[in-house]
């Protein structure tokens, strides 16, 4: 049994289970989008931890974070 691949409903000669270029490209696009999203997420974490490390004690008190907590969070690696 083949796969229907054209608008006039003719059957392709491609065997079942063969990788179709359209499906492969779709999966690659999805993978690339996931990688980009991961990179963006990690960069946001890194930048927010840098910003946290630059806050004064008064600013930390305003947001309810102790200086020790801020130092601990800022010291975490971006992948965590």
Total residues belonging to the chain: 80
Q: Residue 8 domain-assigned?
A: no
The count of structural domains within the chain is: 1
7 within domain boundaries: no
Predicted confidence (pLDDT) at residue 8 exceeds the cutoff of 70? no
- 1 domain residue, yes or no: no
pLDDT of residue 12: 60
* pTM beyond cutoff 0.75: no
Q: Please, are residues 73 and 60 in contact by the beta-carbon 8 Å criterion? A: no
Please give the angle made by the CA atoms of 30, 31 and 32, to the nearest 5 degrees. Answer: 90
Task: Kindly state whether residue 12 falls inside one of the protein's structural domains.
Answer: no
Model pLDDT for residues 22-60, shown as the tens digit of each residue: 688 888 999 999 999 999 999 999 999 999 999 999 999
Q: Say if 9 falls within a structural domain.
A: no
**Residue 3 within a domain:** no
Is residue 2 included in any domain, yes or no? no
- DSSP structural state of residue 65: -
């Amino acid at each position: 049994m083949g796969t229907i691949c054209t608008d006039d409903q003719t059957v392709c000669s491609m065997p079942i289970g063969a990788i179709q270029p359209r499906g492969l490209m779709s999966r690659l696009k999805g993978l690339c989008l996931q990688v980009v999203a991961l990179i963006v997420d990690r960069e946001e974490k890194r930048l927010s931890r840098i910003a946290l490390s630059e806050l004064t004690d008064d600013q930390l008190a305003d947001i309810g974070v102790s200086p020790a907590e801020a130092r601990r969070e800022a010291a975490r690696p971006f992948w965590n």
